[in-house]
Amino acid sequence: MTGAELVLVVDRMAFFGGRWPQGLVPLAGAAAADLLGSLEAAARFVPRPAAEDDPSLKQLIPYCALVTGTEVFCVERLRTQGEARLHGRLSIGIGGHIGPEDSPPAGAVRRGLWRELNEELVLPTVPLADPRFVGLLNDDSNPVGAVHVGLVHLLELGAGTGTGLGVREISKMAGAFRRLADPGNPWQDAARLETWSAALLAALPPLLEPRAGGHPDGSDSRTRN
C-alpha cells in the first residue's frame, strides 16, 4: 500500500470500552480538554484504504461550525460537483481527515482543522480566536459512520467579522450565513442537511451558551497562526 494517503486514527477499544456514545455528545471544561488530549496521545497514522474498511479504528475528523451572533455559516453543494448524491445537500460543518502534514499527533486536531478551514473557505483577514472543542459526533449505525468520529468545534466570529467569509470553490459550492431561529426555513430541512450537520444543528443553541471556566477545551482565546 505504498503511497497511500495516511490518516490519523485511534483504536476503538482504547476509549469507552469500545462502546462509543452515539449522536452528538456535548463536552466542556476539563472533560473536553482531557478527552481531546487523550485522543491525540493515542492516535497514529495508518493508510486510509485500510482504515475505511476497519471498524476497529476510528478516523478523527475535526468538524467546525462557524457562527456569528444568531447565524451559522451554511454551505450548499452545487450540481457542478462530481458526486450526484451530494447535489443540493447542505452542511454547517467544515472539516476533514488529519494527515501527516498536521504532525505531530499532539496538537494535530487544531492544525488539521485550521488547514481544512483555509482550504475550503476564504477566511476574514482579522485575527480569529481558536475554535472551541465542544463535543463528539458519532454514528455507528452505518459502515461510513462506524469508521469515523467527528470532533465538533465552534468558531465564533465577532460582530461584523463574518462579512469577509466565503467559500473558495464558488463553481462547486455556495455559502452564506443562515439564521438559527428560523426552523420553518427550507434550509433547515433535515432531508437536505448532511447527517452530521443535522445532528449538530439540533444541538447548536445550547452549545453557543456562555460557559464558566473559559473555552470547553480548557484554553483561552488565541489568534490563529
* Integer Cα distance of 156 and 72 in angstroms: 9
Q: Kindly state the helix (H) or strand (E) to which residue 37 belongs, with its residue range.
A: helix 29-42
Specify the pLDDT at position 163: 74
136: Cβ contacts below 8 Å, ≥ 6 apart = 20, 21, 24, 25, 27, 35, 149, 150, 151, 152
C-alpha cell at 66: 462557524
Specify the pLDDT at position 84: 64
Specify the pLDDT at position 89: 85
Specify the pLDDT at position 142: 92
Specify the pLDDT at position 197: 92
Task: Going residue by residue through the chain, which has 225 residues, state the pLDDT in tens, using 9 for 90 and above.
Answer: 568 899 999 999 999 999 999 999 999 999 999 999 999 999 999 999 999 999 999 999 999 999 988 889 999 988 776 666 667 789 999 999 999 999 999 999 999 999 999 999 999 887 888 999 999 999 999 999 999 999 999 999 987 776 789 999 988 889 999 888 776 666 677 778 888 999 999 898 888 875 543 333 333 333 343
Specify the pLDDT at position 5: 95
* Residue whose C-alpha cell is 434550509: 187
CATH of domain 6-207: 3.90.79.10
Instruction: Say how many CA atoms lie within 13 Å of 217 toward its Cβ.
Output: 24
Nearest residue to 122 via CA among 173, 197, 69:
173
Q: Where do the structural domains in the chain lie, given as residue ranges?
A: 6-207
Specify the pLDDT at position 43: 98
Contact 6, 48 (CB under 8 A): yes
Nearest residue to 128 via CA among 94, 166, 165:
165
Model pTM score = 0.87
Q: Kindly state the helix (H) or strand (E) to which residue 122 belongs, with its residue range.
A: strand 121-122
Specify the pLDDT at position 82: 65
C-alpha cell at 18: 469500545
Dihedral angle over CA of 209, 210, 213, 216, nearest 10: 40
Question: Is beta strand 57-68 parallel, antiparallel or unpaired with respect to 94-95?
Answer: antiparallel
* Integer Cα distance of 60 and 160 in angstroms: 32
